């Protein structure tokens, strides 16, 4: 049998080899991540067992995200008198402003801002965290021809900024000692 008469591996065997290689690579990467101490991001441990969120708008997305992140760690109570810590939202604003436009007054760049001012205290009024202001901003290029896509991108940027604010608030709440 000459070299030209040797059987050529079929497409199925090539796909099997590719599948085996992909599975081996996934297993190796999973073992590598567990070996390096990788852990999912989670809320820091808090030194108190209950909290009340106060001063947020009725359907504030920031308050909803804070509740979701705090729920596995502490009790989020509706009654401020029973809570150990009161988180007071003093300002929760989202802003959108035009930064650049063309000579024909077409918008080319937007700036998105998320402002959150808060403080923490006991139900008796003792200050646990002084007033803090968090201000995040992102720039967003804009084209009228892609208005729908840019609207979705804007919503995603606000969600990312909100998640960042929640992480910062949780870190500051972790510094409270009663």
Q: Of 178 and 76, which is predicted with more confidence?
A: 76
pLDDT tens-digit profile of 136-177?
A: 999 988 888 888 888 999 999 999 999 999 999 999 999 998
SS3 per residue for 71-109: CCCCEECCCCCCCCEEEEEEEEEEEEEEEEECCCCCEEE
- Map out the domains of the chain as residue ranges: 11-40, 50-173
pLDDT band at residue 6, thresholds of 50, 70 and 90?
Answer: low
Crossing angle (nearest 10°) for helices 61-70 and 147-173:
50
Q: Provide the pLDDT for residue 121.
A: 95
Q: Of 11 and 94, which is predicted with more confidence?
A: 94
Q: Provide the pLDDT for residue 34.
A: 58
pLDDT tens-digit profile of 44-69?
A: 788 899 999 999 998 999 999 999 99
CATH number for the segment(s) 50-173: 3.30.160.150
> What's the whole-number mean pLDDT along residues 91-102?
90
Question: What's the pTM?
Answer: 0.72
> What's the whole-number mean pLDDT along residues 93-99?
92
Residue 31 has pLDDT above 80, yes or no: no
The CA distance from 89 to 110, in Å, is 26
Average pLDDT value for the chain: 85
Give the chain's largest Cα–Cα span. Answer: 93
What's the Rg (C-alpha) of the chain? 26
Q: For 35-39, 124-128, 137-141, 172-176, which range has the lowest pLDDT when averaged over its residues?
A: 35-39
Residue 116 has pLDDT above 60, yes or no: yes
Q: Of 37 and 48, which is predicted with more confidence?
A: 48
């Amino acid at each position: 049998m000459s070299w030209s008469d040797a059987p050529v591996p079929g497409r199925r065997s090539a796909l099997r080899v590719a599948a085996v290689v992909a599975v081996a690579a996934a297993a190796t990467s999973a073992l590598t991540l567990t070996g390096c101490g990788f852990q999912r991001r989670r809320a820091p441990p808090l030194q108190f067992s209950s909290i009340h969120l106060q001063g947020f708008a009725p359907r504030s997305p920031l308050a909803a995200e804070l509740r979701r992140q705090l729920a596995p760690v502490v009790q989020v109570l509706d009654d401020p008198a029973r809570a150990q810590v009161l988180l007071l939202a003093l300002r929760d604003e989202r802003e959108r402003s035009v930064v650049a436009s063309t000579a024909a007054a077409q918008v080319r760049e937007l700036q998105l801002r998320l402002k959150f001012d808060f403080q923490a205290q006991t139900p008796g009024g003792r200050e646990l965290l002084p007033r803090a202001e968090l201000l995040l901003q992102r720039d967003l290029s804009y084209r009228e021809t892609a208005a729908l896509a840019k609207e979705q991108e804007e919503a995603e940027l606000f969600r990312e900024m909100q998640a960042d604010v929640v992480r910062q608030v949780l870190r500051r709440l972790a510094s409270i000692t009663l």
